[in-house]
Structure formats: structure tokens, C-alpha cells
Amino acid sequence: MPVLTGAVPIATTTLSAIEQSKRLAAYTAVDKHILPEHKVIGIGSGSTVPYVVERIVAQGRELNKDRVFIPTGFQSKELIVMSNLNLGDVDQFPTIDVTIDGADEVDLDLNCIKGGGACHLREKVLAEAANTFIVVADYRKNAEYLGTNFTPGVPVEVVPFAYAQVLRKLRDVLGSPNATLRMAKAKAGPVVTDNSNFVIDAPFSREIMKDPSTILAKIKMLTGVVEVGLFCDMAQAAYFGNEDGSVTVK
């Protein structure tokens, strides 16, 4: 796994070590993958992605005026608009040059858990639409196996009518006895996605998570499941900012 050192000049704002690591990963990935010829760019969700947009904005108005940016949800739409970048839709631009997104965890084969922010359906659409899909994250997300540090489980977006049945099948048939419906912070009710669906978090054993494609296929077969936050064989590269200022590239 290559480690880059001193690759990116970083602005001097005081940030926590984790925020600096996110920014380092984001800046390095943008410098490497968002090239002048790229005109349609997918923007993911989460707390690392604002640094992606910050670095793209720094490439200058001249380059960005001919580009269109496709969001994965409400947050990235706001980010694009607030940054005075051109907002587009995947309906208009079904082929994306590069999508950059965060991840909750990435394994040795670049399989990812995504959906910590409940955006994984749209994130997967934009990852699939992209010629190149790049992941950016801080060092805590870099793992040998999925589920090592990210313990809530695999996010499963489900239509509300089917959630109890899907929960039961995840617990009793697919081997996730602690699967739970994701609740809003105040516990006033379930988290509702940008697509008006619910999310179940399903933790699986190490044995099962060693083969994420198999469990992904099984979960997708459950009636009522809209999308699963396992991204298998989708990312071309992942960048992790480290505490010592280096970047690990997978």
C-alpha cells in the first residue's frame, strides 16, 4: 500500500487531527483525479466531502465554469450550490467522469461500507454512473476487513411497509441477530432517507464480512430492500489521510 508524504500543501487553519486527515485525503484525491478534461463530477456525502469541494473550488472559476456537479443527496446539493458550482442531475448526465465520496470503512480489496449518513442508494447510483469512483477518508476507515472499526453494521435502505419483515429476515435467516431500525437522534422516530425510506443497521460476524459480495447479494434478494451499503468492486482507489501528515493509497 503506497504512502505519500508531503504531497499536499495544506492551508494553515487549525483543525483536529481527524479533520486534517480528512482534508489531506480529499485534497490529494482531487489533485490526482479531477483533471481539466473532467466536465461531469459526482459529489458524495458526509464530513470528508466538503474538503473535496473546497479543493475543486480552488482549481479556479475558469475550469469550473464548464463543469457540472451531480449531488448524492441534500447535503451535497447544498454544498455545490453554496460553492457557486453548476448543479446537475444524473438524469441529464447519466455518465459521470469521476465521482468522489467518503466511506465508513474500506477493506483490502476496496470494498466499502457506506450509508452512515443514510445516503447510500444515491451514492451507489453515482458510483455506478462514474467512469472512475474514488473514496476519501481519514485513517480510521482503513481496515483489513469490513466491520472492524465501523460497528453499527451494514446500512440497509428499506421501504417502510416492509421494514419489520426485512428486520426479521436479517436477524433470523441472514445471521444478524442485532440488526436494528436506525432511529433519529432524538429517538422521535426512524431516520427517513432522501427517498422517504427507512434504514436498518445490520452487523455481521467477521466470517460473513470476509466475503461482502455474498452477503450483499443475499440482502438484496429480500423483498422491500431498496439498496445495501456494501460497495463491492466499485472503487478504483481509496485515499486515507494519516495523523502524521502522510496519505495511504489503496
Our finding on whether 115 is near ligand 5RP (CB under 6 A) is yes
Is the CB of residue 230 less than 8 Å from the CB of residue 216?
A: yes
Q: Known catalytic residue: 123?
A: yes
Contacting residue, 17, 47, 59, 216, with ligand 5RP by CB under 6 A: 47
Catalytic residue among 62, 105, 123, 227: 123
| Segments of 55-129 assigned E as strands | 68-71, 96-101, 105-106, 112-113
Of the ranges 41-49, 167-175, 180-188, 209-217, which one interacts with ligand 5RP (CB under 6 A)? 41-49
Contacting residue, 42, 44, 88, 153, with ligand 5RP by CB under 6 A: 44
Report how many residues bind ligand 5RP under the rule CB under 6 A.
17
Contacting residue, 20, 48, 99, 142, with ligand 5RP by CB under 6 A: 48
Cβ closest to ligand 5RP, residue 83 vs residue 175? 83
Our finding on whether 147 is near ligand 5RP (CB under 6 A) is no
Q: Which residues bind ligand 5RP (CB under 6 A)?
A: 44-48, 101-104, 114-120, 123
